[in-house]
Structure 1
């Protein structure tokens, strides 16, 4: 007897007209059909790959999610898109107890639906297996340098940084690499870049700096002032930015366990040595902030002219990040004395790029990468048995550990979210980068 499969749909994205990514490309749909896994595609006018390409790939097009049992998306679904008993796979932005998405999490519970989150799909070593980190890093660095060029131009400084376009105008990584690599060495204003973080996002930032021909310096040399006269970049790891409060040695495992209870930030020691910051680290309230307002006030003459907060933690590690910016309006300026922001770019305070959906500027490349990985999980996903208890539904470790809600109940690993659900705010706010 053939095992029943869940009816699989790709839904349209609703959060932004810029969101053109897809979890499965037309080519992936063709390959899955050959394996006996048909996919229905909800129509979209924004998706990078037009509906016609999916139809040519053998998919059936639909005007809604009616009849869908397994729903694949990128960003979190609209609450009204969740139907009873459905399984949704998406970046839900709920695992930190994000207040603005607790109503969404409650919707899954109320509808007795199932939520599987890409963000917590991890291998046995704890590394994420499916993500857009590199694409966020590349797009974030390019957009930040675009803001730098615009800021210099406002102050009458002639620099070829002004030739750097927003990421979406390059369309693909290959084209962006070619165009930035063709630029002559940066002139008119020395570009001194600090990349905070060594993960996939930080790696994407490094790629862009190298396309521009920036020289790499070590954190030790940066602190000692042993840097080139012109353009350079430096990449920091966690060990460079925090220290134990009791003076003991840094230990990464201990830091993850004890955070700000045992460690304090020393990030301020680097202020004045760079003029552009690319922030890429994971942060939550268990860890020390790196640029709280008090530190920024105390060192306001040493602050960078532009901050690319690719992590986009609102009022988080960098307290100048008061909101997420957009591709249409990529930056705002922070005035530290008044602790306020103004939309747009000004010379008289750090300008902050905090776009929270950067990878969609590279929608084709990002979708193809994502689709190749997700395709590997599809046979397991479509054959999960929702009639059985969670432990017996057929999901292996990786997908089981990524399941936040199963048939309307928080799974054991995520029951800590019960307190967050009980304290839902009246007004949703803030967002996350994926």
Structure 2
């Protein structure tokens, strides 16, 4: 059995989540699977809560074979032959983490990433998507309320707080339900995406009491003038070049080579846009510079870009915002930005660690799922090939590096590793 420890998170002061909560530690101990805990002063669950459940506190990560965390670990912490489970942020070849990926290779260590853990249908089984959607939507409504105040238009939305200022989900639901925003200035919200993030954003609209309008009505310019929200998926926002019916699998395979965005047909009908889907340059952009210039008077007041794709599908997303400074203003006329919420321009919320604003609720959800995988992880036989290591198919598919070797499904990352090696000397100079 691999000696296991829960690592503390180090990314920033807002990363208070835990991959395993104290109750899960106790549940595993009852199965004779002890999990030690690295002490942490900012974790949403204090060290004493873990000790009360029988966990031992240790600072020596190098003496453990299996390290459980959420965000990527510090590069220097990777010990030889060690196994780490985390969101490594390497799958897209992110330049800032190629050094981390190389460290796993050099140390003959093993990297298992949460993101590729999917079931047989390809659906992710362990993630914070719902909480990103909830926090992102709340923060977007918060920004909208403050923007309308700057414009001299006080509304009930101005009483919505940033997610971090609510103690729990139950408090959020209770407070939002009391606002009665449907009696206020009409608001129209477009949610793009129907995955877990989009569903989380939809929940917030429902808690506010906003009625849902079918996206087909919005596309047909038949949406009511009163408040509403609507949800659009890829098939509503793209058309096939040359005509023909939208085919989702073809869209995924060919992207902008066969499809173009028709997002301009929706512009002018909503004040708040909440963007949630995964996006790469393979796919059409919805708000490029040309489209924004052509539709300057029809652009939304606020963009909540939960996907946080800088210069991606929404070119107004010029940088990542932060929990401390949740929004900045984008100005189409000069393609420039200014920190803070202002009366003019598009206010952009693009926080990339939104679930950190709900550390207790998000951790409990995540921990309940991870606990089911831990018995399988601790029994890994690292002396065998990955196929015979004892891991099931779900976890095998999520192994990026095994004993220092990049797995076949991820060999495309070698291109990014090579680029990192070429640029590393200049970065150090």
Shared topology, TM-score over 0.5?
yes
Matched, 1:148 2:141: no
User: Match for residue 254 of structure 1?
Assistant: 250
Distance 2:153 2:60 in 1: 52
Distance 2:57 2:228 in 1: 50
User: Match for residue 203 of structure 1?
Assistant: 199
- Cα deviation code 1:91-145 (max 9, x no counterpart): 1111122222222211211221111011110000000000111111110000000
Distance 2:54 2:266 in 1: 55
Native 8 Å contact 1:324 1:354 kept in 2: yes
Structure 1: stretches of 5+ with no match in the other structure = 429-434
Distance 2:339 2:422 in 1: 26
Which deviates more, 22-31 or 64-73?
64-73
Distance 1:75 1:345 in 2: 29
Distance 2:96 2:264 in 1: 31
Kindly state the Cα deviation for residue 205 of structure 1 after the two structures are TM-superposed: 0.8
- Cα deviation code 1:322-359 (max 9, x no counterpart): 11111110001111222121110112210100011111
SS at match of 2:115: helix
Of 31, 40, 43 in structure 2, the residue corresponding to residue 47 of structure 1 is 43
Of 129, 134, 157 in structure 1, the residue corresponding to residue 130 of structure 2 is 134
SS at match of 2:416: helix
- Cα deviation code 1:139-162 (max 9, x no counterpart): 000000000011111121111111
User: Match for residue 414 of structure 1?
Assistant: 410
Of 137, 159, 165 in structure 2, the residue corresponding to residue 163 of structure 1 is 159
User: Match for residue 314 of structure 1?
Assistant: 310
Distance 1:152 1:225 in 2: 25
User: Match for residue 77 of structure 1?
Assistant: 73
Kindly state the Cα deviation for residue 66 of structure 1 after the two structures are TM-superposed: 2.9
Which deviates more, 393-402 or 291-300?
291-300
Distance 1:94 1:194 in 2: 31
Q: Map 1:389-400 onto structure 2 (within 5 A).
A: 389-400=385-396
Matched, 1:184 2:180: yes
Native 8 Å contact 2:270 2:300 kept in 1: yes
Kindly state the Cα deviation for residue 166 of structure 1 after the two structures are TM-superposed: 0.6
Native 8 Å contact 1:159 1:186 kept in 2: no
Structure 2: stretches of 5+ with no match in the other structure = 425-429
Aligned residues: 424
TM-score of the superposed pair, with normalisation by structure 2:
0.96
SS at match of 1:48: coil
User: Match for residue 292 of structure 2?
Assistant: 296
Kindly state the Cα deviation for residue 70 of structure 1 after the two structures are TM-superposed: 0.5
Native 8 Å contact 2:311 2:317 kept in 1: yes
Which deviates more, 17-26 or 382-391?
382-391
Q: State the 4+ residue runs in structure 1 displaced beyond 4 angstroms.
A: 425-428
Q: Map 1:27-426 onto structure 2 (within 5 A).
A: 27-186=23-182, 189-424=185-420
Distance 2:300 2:312 in 1: 18
Kindly state the Cα deviation for residue 186 of structure 1 after the two structures are TM-superposed: 4.4
Native 8 Å contact 2:193 2:277 kept in 1: yes
TM-score of the superposed pair, with normalisation by structure 1:
0.95
SS at match of 2:230: strand
Native 8 Å contact 1:219 1:234 kept in 2: yes
Give the direction of change, closer, same or farther, for the CA distance of 1:64–1:294 in structure 2 (3 Å limit).
farther
Native 8 Å contact 2:275 2:306 kept in 1: yes
Give the direction of change, closer, same or farther, for the CA distance of 1:338–1:425 in structure 2 (3 Å limit).
farther
Kindly state the Cα deviation for residue 425 of structure 1 after the two structures are TM-superposed: 8.6
Native 8 Å contact 2:62 2:77 kept in 1: no
Distance 1:421 1:268 in 2: 39
